[in-house]
Chain A
Amino acid sequence: MLTKLPVIAALTAQDIVVASEPTWLQQWRQAAWQHVNEGAAPLWRRTDLTAFALADMEFSATTSTSQLGSAIPDGVVVMPLSQAVREHGDLVKAHLGSAVAFNSSKYAALNAATWRDGWFVYVPKNHEASVPLHLLQGFGASNTLVARNLVVLERGAQLSLIEQYAGDGGPFAVVASELILGDGATLQYTSMQTWGATVHHMGHQVAKVGNDATIVWTAVNTGAAHQHIDAETNLVGNGSRVNWTAATVAGEGQRLLTAPWLRHVGRATEAHMDFKTVVKGSGYATFDGMIKIEGGSTDTVTRLEEHALHLSPQARSDSIPGLKIDTNNVQKAGHASTSGEVDDEQLFYMQARGIPKSDAVHMIVMGFFESVLDRIPLDTLREQVTADIAARI
């Protein structure tokens, strides 16, 4: 029997509460729900908010389709977040909402209030996970996926984590990832948005990086019709580091926006960002980034590169990099940006070696992404994504 699911906009505060959850979580959800209803709509000029209308989103009280694409590495706790609320309540309570605050946007609030899906990943102190963990998220019965991942690495822990959104359906995904890195921890974080072509993806990702901890963040965004991802690395610890790269492909009919925020808070923090974008057909990609160096962040090193290749005259990319410095002790801050068609000199050179123009374009574009795709830790996944991108350009 099919029953019609309620739309999120029609829910009451009672509907979103899970009776079996502890009081603190029920109250947190309700506070978030209040923000959904009373908070202002986000001022995102480059994201079409009508593609994310709450009146169109269905609510399902049951969990759906969180899967594992790999085995669980020895010594790492991996379970649905809802289960972790029962089994690791203290850990969840200590960290949930500490990276992605529900009042950061209406959609972050929506996620906090109504999540049912998603994972809890916990790596104990000084434990080095030996193999990559692959979390795979698809759609369930409802047209809206609300999933939340909470990833906690204790002091000195190491993990390679792949978080992938893949498949058709929906079309609405409102997801959040909180990554908490304890002192000296190392996280290789590969976040992949490879949805089918009709999905509307709203993502929030925040990494909080402890003293001398390192995050190596590789983002791959190739799917969806609409994407808005607020991504943040918060270098809160002294000596914390991020090496952040991204590959985005926006083809026919796609509007993909990434808004990366980089916060230098601790002393002697270091960041390298290298974001690469290819737009084709009527595709439109936006890089709306901000680097903020806080007053207490001395001896900072920060470098941002963003490059976009246009494969058709109608394709568009916007780049809005911002830099705000509140300290007078920056060691190095650099920025480089390019945007345009495939370089004529490169094309001529390859053609002069007998390589036909279309093959040459193909090789140049795949070469452009090589340094990003090369970092995908699982061979089969890397080959699959590389082939998918190759087929689309």
Chain B
Amino acid sequence: MELVIKDLHANIGDKEILKGVNLTVTPGTIHAIMGPNGSGKSTLSNTIMGHPAYTVTSGEVWYKGQNVLELPVDERAKLGLFLAFQYPVSIPGVTVANFLRAAVNAHRSVAGKDTRETAIPMAQYRKDIREKMAALGVDDSFARRYLNDGFSGGEKKRIEILQMSMLKPSMAIMDETDSGLDIDALKVVSQGVNTLLTQNPEMGVLVITHYQRLLNYIKPNRVSVMMEGRIVREGGAELALELEERGYDFIREEVFGNAN
């Protein structure tokens, strides 16, 4: 199913950050959103997922027949949306294994059914998480560590992809996943995403990034450029390369003129 964003306006406090975003992400495509710092990219991903710091003032986000803006955050996740965080928070006292099991079981829960019936059997869960950790080069010991507590930037991003591969979303939003990653970590993380895409070719991926670098490893089908709270340009993979070469200024001039 498509993710359709219609004329989305959102504020932080009194400041309007999104000024009418229109965007459609089709299943089975990798759709990159590129833009300079402060253009509203992270606000867009957080607003789709329902971060409480952002207020939607108008617009709609449709997915699987529902305006997700009307759903609580956890229901958006259960609908198949996944946000890989730019800055994953740490949760002391909650282990990676327990956290992910709660998340997996929340996804499996069905209204009106006892959660003990729908919960993943422990042995199955252990097998799943072990396999996926191995595939991402995450040491077994991480399962018992507190979530993101004292993890390096690269470790946090791998754990984000681990969660994504356990929860198998149908629409993944990756918010600046490349920030703070060295090239080796970037390769591992990208490979994780690509493996997931191979297993689930219908998954849509919205990749939010400032740089072209990540797009060498996760190859986009579509590229949208965001500036000052709007999508100002759309194109294919070649647009990302052009941006890499020429920077954002040429688009800024085309869109906003040379006034300043």
Q: Contacts A349-B85, A367-B91; is A354 near B52 (CB within 8 Å)? A: no
What is the interface size of chain B, counting residues whose CB is below 8 A from a CB of the partner?
29
Residues of chain A in range 313-358 having any CB-CB distance to chain B below 8 Å: 343-346, 348-357
> Which B-chain residue is minimally distant from A363 (CB atoms)?
B94
In the bound complex, do residue B91 and residue A349 qualify as a contact, i.e. CB atoms below 8 Å apart?
Answer: yes
- In the complex, which residue of chain B has the Cβ closest to the Cβ of A362? B102
Binary interface encoding of chain B residues 94-120 relative to chain A, with 1 for a CB under 8 A from any of its CBs, else 0? 100011001100110000000000000
Stretch of B9-17, B30-38, B73-81, B248-256 on the interface side: B73-81
B93 touching A354, Cβ below 8 Å: no
Q: Quick check: is A126 within 8 A (CB to CB) of the other chain? A: no
Residues on A with beta carbons closer than 8 Å to the beta carbon of B103: 350, 353-355
Provide the bound-state CA to CA distance between A366 and B93, in Å. Answer: 7
The bracket for how many chain A residues form the interface is 20 to 34
User: Would you give the shortest CB distance from B97 to chain A, in whole angstroms?
Assistant: 13
Query: Besides A346-B89, A355-B103, A356-B106, 10 other CB < 8 A contacts?
Result: A344-B53, A348-B73, A350-B91, A353-B74, A354-B103, A354-B106, A357-B74, A363-B102, A366-B94, A371-B92
Report whether A355 and B74 are in contact in the complex, using a CB–CB cutoff of 8 Å: yes
Q: Is A368 an interface residue (CB 8 A)?
A: yes
Are the CB atoms of B77 and A344 closer together than 8 Å?
Answer: no
Is there a chain A Cβ closer than 8 Å to B186's Cβ?
no
Q: Does A370 contact B (CB under 8 A)?
A: yes
Minimum C-beta distance from A294 to chain B (A): 34
Complex interface: chain A residues within 8 A of B89 (CB): 343, 345-346, 349
**Distance between Cα atoms of A366 and B91 in the complex (Å):** 11
- Tell me whether A351 and B74 are in contact (CB under 8 A): yes
Q: Is A383 an interface residue (CB 8 A)?
A: no
Assembled-state Cα–Cα distance A351/B53 (Å): 14
Most buried by B among A345, A353, A355, A356: A353
Closest CB-CB distance, B94 to chain A, in whole Å? 4
- Is the CB–CB distance between A353 and B106 below 8 Å? yes
A364 pairs with B91, CB closer than 8 A:
yes
Which residues of A does B touch, CB under 8 Å? 343-346, 348-357, 359-360, 363-364, 366-371
Chain B residues with Cβ below 8 Å from A348 are 49-52, 73
Q: List 24 A-B contacts (CB under 8 A).
A: A343-B89, A348-B51, A349-B85, A349-B88, A349-B91, A350-B102, A352-B49, A352-B50, A352-B83, A352-B85, A353-B103, A354-B78, A355-B74, A355-B106, A357-B73, A357-B74, A360-B74, A363-B99, A364-B91, A364-B94, A367-B92, A367-B146, A370-B92, A371-B92
* B148, closest chain A residue (CB): A349
Bound-state CA distance A352–B84 (Å) is 9
Shortest Cβ gap from B158 to chain A (Å): 16
Say yes or no for B163: interface residue by CB 8 A criterion. yes
Chain A nearest CB from B90 CB (Å) reads 8
A363 to B98, CA, bound (A): 9
Judging by beta carbons under 8 Å apart, are A371 and B106 in contact? no
Q: How far is the CB of B64 from chain A (nearest CB, A)?
A: 15
How far in angstroms is the closest Cβ of chain B from A266?
32
Chain B nearest Cβ from A173, distance in angstroms: 30
Which A-B residue pairs are the 7 nearest by beta carbons?
A367-B93, A370-B93, A351-B73, A354-B77, A353-B103, A354-B106, A367-B94
CB pair A353–B167 under 8 Å, yes or no, is yes
The digit string for B130-151, where 1 denotes a CB below 8 A from any CB of A, is 0000000000000000100000
Report the Cα distance A244→B121, complex, angstroms. Answer: 38
Q: Which of B23-71 contact A (CB under 8 A)?
A: 49-53
